[in-house]
Amino acid sequence: MIIENNCRFILSALENAGFSAYIVGGCVRDMLMGIPMHDYDITTDALPEQIIEVFSQQKVIPTGIKHGTVTVLLNNEPFEITTFRIDGEYTDSRRPDSVVFTDSLREDLARRDFTINAIAMDLNGNIYDYFGGENDIKNKIIRCVGNPEERFTEDALRILRAVRFSSVLGFTIEENTSNAIHALKNRLDNISVERISVELVKLLGGINALSVLMEYRDIIGQIIPELIPAFDHDQHSPYHKYDVYEHTARAVNAVPMGIDGENILRLTMLLHDVGKPAAYRLDENGRGHFKGHAQIGAEMAKNILQRLKFDNKTIDTVHEIIYRHSDEIETEKQIKRIINQIGLDGFLMLIEAKKADNSAKHSFVLAENDEFNRFADIARRLVAEESCMSISQLAINGNDLIYLGYSGKNIGICLNNLLDAVMDEMLANDRDTLLKYAQEMKP
Ligand code: ATP
Ligand code: MG
């Protein structure tokens, strides 16, 4: 376990000035687990003004002076340095009304959320672990530091962090901590949607996402009540062996790790069937139908993601894919039309969504995924050979039509007709052919 040079510099600068300094939290946890860590958090008994003084030669950003945090930039790498502190009263389940600085490392570690996040390490690699964090890492357990009810009541975001860590690290949540999560879930209503969304996206990307989505579905329902009707909703369909919610959770889990757009795809799969309960109809033969669920669901997903303050690009992409997720794709012409509407990236995401969807049904449906892979290849080929799939790729443009005597909205109508004919391979995309056709079709 090696602390990198920039970080060593920071720790020794503080020590040389007579303070104690440790790395703490996620970086220590990840180092002990032997997995890649992403940033160092540093904790020290130096007060914010003293930290600023120690790093007078560096760029220092007063990130959260009131809470004792400053960020030091060393060779462009940011280090968050926080003074040992005890959190004051919580009146809003969100943030302490005040913080009190302390010179005790133990007290600083005691305010942290989970034992696995409450371990400190000094420059020499000595570990300070007062709450059994190392043992919990070894046994893959998420456990609150102190009394879970109190800790979740202080700050309800910890509820979602617990579930997120369980999903991402593949850890089990200890029983008392787990019971408190279920019991106090409605306190999540006090937490800002921005912070909830960040945790939700991380949760969906975890190796343990499926079991967490199942075991903590009440937490998901607390954030997205629109999913509650999907719980235990029997589909009565020959293709499905899971209820709507379990199918949903399995579809999230089926999105391959590391593919382009993974986060958005997982979010898409979480919401792809949210319209099913509203669209459900049982026919006289006892078979379930969900006509229109994709369109209903796309609208619902848009509302949900707007409420959770996702960015517009994410919202639009999720909406587009959900809207089309159960459309049949059979021909090259259809592929061209979809690329025309949502681009190659959109098309490839749609294909991934359809594959994930199929992976969460009866296994015989999986055979269809070979077909989808073939469609993805066709789409990439079409784009590589610059096959005409947009008006701007046509061999003539609006000016040519004006020259022929077109005007007003007829220009757009004609260009669209030409594009349709070219995509359907009824016309070759060359200038003379298109001009001749436009001349003949002139109103
Ligand atoms: P990662 O950065 O990998 O998501 P992390 O554990 O480093 O995980 P951060 O949000 O970076 O999480 O927080 C750093 C540390 O601050 C945590 O390890 C934990 O000790 C403490 N911490 C963060 N959020 C809370 C909270 N809501 N309540 C108590 N302690 C917290
Ligand atoms: Mg961190």
pLDDT digits (tens, 9 = 90+) for 159-214: 999 999 999 999 999 999 999 999 999 999 999 999 999 999 999 999 999 999 99
Distance (Å, rounded) from C-alpha 71 to C-alpha 53? 13
Which residues approach ligand 1 with their CB closer than 6 A? 25-26, 41, 112-113, 117-118, 155, 157-158
Q: Report whether 144 contacts 83 (CB < 8 A).
A: no
Taking CA atoms only, the protein residue closest to ligand 1 atom 10 is 26
pLDDT at 224: 98
CA contacts within 13 A on the Cβ side of 191? 25
Ligand sitting nearest the alpha carbon of 113? 1
Which atom of ligand 1 sits closest to the CA of residue 30? 3
pLDDT at 5: 93
Cα angle, residue 392 at apex, residues 260 and 424 outer, rounded to 5°: 85
Q: Name the residue of 87, 117, 184, 196 to mutate for ligand 1: max ligand atoms within 8 A of Cβ.
A: 117
Q: Name the residue of 42, 67, 112, 203 to mutate for ligand 1: max ligand atoms within 8 A of Cβ.
A: 112
pLDDT at 87: 87
**Shortest CA distance to 317 belongs to which of 293, 345, 296?**
345
Cα 238 to ligand 2 centroid, rounded to whole Å: 46
Q: Report whether 83 contacts 46 (CB < 8 A).
A: yes
Distance (Å, rounded) from C-alpha 4 to C-alpha 230? 48
pLDDT at 424: 92
Give the count of beta carbons closer than 10 Å to the beta carbon of residue 269.
29
221: its two tokens: 């329902």
- Name the burial class of residue 392, with classes exposed (0-12), middle (13-18) and buried (19+) by CB atoms within 10 angstroms of its CB: exposed
* Alpha-carbon distances of 189 from 128, 155, 223, 305, rounded to whole Å: 35, 11, 8, 16
Q: Report whether 56 contacts 123 (CB < 8 A).
A: no
Distance (Å, rounded) from C-alpha 210 to C-alpha 88? 37
Q: Report whether 265 contacts 255 (CB < 8 A).
A: yes
pLDDT at 382: 97
Across the chain, mean pLDDT equals: 96
Taking CA atoms only, the protein residue closest to ligand 1 atom 25 is 113
- Domains of the chain, with CATH numbers? 1-133 (3.30.460.10), 140-222 (1.10.110.30), 224-386 (1.10.3210), 391-441 (1.10.246)
Which atom of ligand 1 sits closest to the CA of residue 112? 30
pTM of this prediction? 0.93
pLDDT tens series, the chain, 443 aa: 688 999 999 999 999 999 999 999 999 999 999 999 989 999 999 999 999 999 999 999 999 888 899 999 999 999 999 999 998 777 777 778 888 999 999 999 999 999 999 999 999 999 999 999 999 999 999 999 999 999 999 999 999 999 999 999 999 999 999 999 999 999 999 999 999 999 999 999 999 999 999 999 999 999 999 999 999 999 999 999 999 999 999 999 999 999 999 999 999 999 999 999 999 999 999 999 999 999 999 999 999 999 999 999 999 999 999 999 999 999 999 999 999 999 999 999 999 999 999 999 999 999 999 999 999 999 999 999 999 999 999 999 999 999 999 999 999 999 999 999 999 999 999 999 999 999 999 98
pLDDT at 91: 76
Taking CA atoms only, the protein residue closest to ligand 1 atom 5 is 26
pLDDT at 262: 98
Taking CA atoms only, the protein residue closest to ligand 1 atom 17 is 25
pLDDT at 98: 83
Cα angle, residue 37 at apex, residues 140 and 356 outer, rounded to 5°: 70
pLDDT at 395: 97
pLDDT at 257: 97
Cα 6 to ligand 1 centroid, rounded to whole Å: 21
Q: pLDDT tens, 55-113?
A: 999 999 999 888 899 999 999 999 999 999 998 777 777 778 888 999 999 999 999 99
Distance (Å, rounded) from C-alpha 374 to C-alpha 330? 11
pLDDT at 206: 98
Cα 9 to ligand 1 centroid, rounded to whole Å: 23
3-class DSSP state for residue 42? strand
Beta bridge partners of 61: 71
Taking CA atoms only, the protein residue closest to ligand 1 atom 8 is 26
Q: Report whether 16 contacts 74 (CB < 8 A).
A: no
Go through 234-261 and write b for each residue having 16 or more CB atoms within 10 A of its CB, e for each that does not.
ebeeeebebebbbbbbbbbbbbeeeeeb
